[in-house]
Amino acid sequence: MYKVFVNDKPLFLTNKISKETDFQLFLLESIDIKQLIVKMFQNKIQKACLYHPDDKEIMKTLKTKIPVNKAGGGLVYNKKGEILFIFRNGKWDLPKGGIEKGEEIEDTAMREVEEETGVNKLKIVKKLQKTYHVFKRNDVYKLKITHWFEMHSDFEGTPQGQLEEGIEKVAWFKPEEVPEILKNSYENIKLLFEEENENSVKL
């Protein structure tokens, strides 16, 4: 199952039909995806499920119906174990951005972290999950697929937000401060921290 966020509302892509009744079910093959997205942006639909019988074909099928943007981003820890956040559009977020032609996605993620925050001396530790969300640009709805990486940095200077990208603040937060920060963040970002917490418990 995939979880795609549309205006921070969940759109589940699944090959199983659940008996739950609190969201609307649509067939992925025949759905007018733009119409569904518009209704979710207008708050007419709070959550929905797109059904396709073949789990391996679900994402491929969605990609035929909506343009895709590929991005890379970082969940960055410093030497003190603090986590790097950016503040943009009234919410706390993690640094990320679109892939450039000929670029490896790992390089995209590190370049974007450095450009958006000024933090360098980055090292990728491991690949995290991909997140999916729909956004609107120039009147076109697009699916952004972000590849996330856990990174460590020996940077000791003061982070600087990239003003032309609308980043108002950059800050390091201690792990115990993160739950409060996530109250004013995006659902995609919360998913990454759920994954981090699960891994911590396993250790």
- CATH code for the domain of 190: 3.90.79.10
Asked if residue 58 and residue 143 are part of one domain, the reply reads no
Q: Are 33 and 62 in contact (CB under 8 A)?
A: yes
- In the three-class reduction of DSSP (H, G, I as helix; E, B as strand; rest coil), residue 25 is classed as strand
pLDDT of residue 201: 40
What is the maximum alpha-carbon separation in the chain? 53
Asked if residue 181 and residue 139 are part of one domain, the reply reads yes
Residue where a domain stops, chosen among 49, 65, 81: 65
Exposed, middle or buried: residue 195 (CB in 10 Å: 0-12, 13-18, 19+)? middle
pLDDT of residue 198: 61
Q: Which amino acid is at 197?
A: N
Asked if residue 193 and residue 99 are part of one domain, the reply reads yes
Asked if residue 118 and residue 175 are part of one domain, the reply reads yes
Q: CA-based Rg of the chain, rounded to a whole angstrom?
A: 18
Asked if residue 101 and residue 189 are part of one domain, the reply reads yes
pLDDT of residue 203: 36
Asked if residue 178 and residue 91 are part of one domain, the reply reads yes
pLDDT of residue 202: 41
Asked if residue 141 and residue 106 are part of one domain, the reply reads yes
pLDDT of residue 24: 87
Q: pLDDT of the chain along its 203 residues, tens only?
A: 899 999 999 999 999 887 766 788 999 999 999 999 999 999 999 999 999 999 889 999 999 999 999 999 999 999 999 999 999 999 999 999 999 999 999 999 999 999 999 999 999 999 999 999 999 989 899 999 999 999 999 999 999 999 999 999 999 999 999 999 999 999 999 999 987 666 554 43
Structurally, how many domains does the chain consist of?
A: 2
Asked if residue 6 and residue 39 are part of one domain, the reply reads yes
Three-point CA angle 131, 116, 95, nearest 5°: 20
Task: Enter the tokens of residue 108.
Answer: 């995209």
Domain of residue 19: give its range: 2-65
pLDDT of residue 23: 81
Asked if residue 168 and residue 157 are part of one domain, the reply reads yes
Asked if residue 97 and residue 16 are part of one domain, the reply reads no
Asked if residue 81 and residue 163 are part of one domain, the reply reads yes
Cα 137 from Cα 159, distance rounded (Å): 28
Global confidence as pTM? 0.91
Task: Enter the tokens of residue 151.
Answer: 């990174």
Three-point CA angle 72, 56, 136, nearest 5°: 45
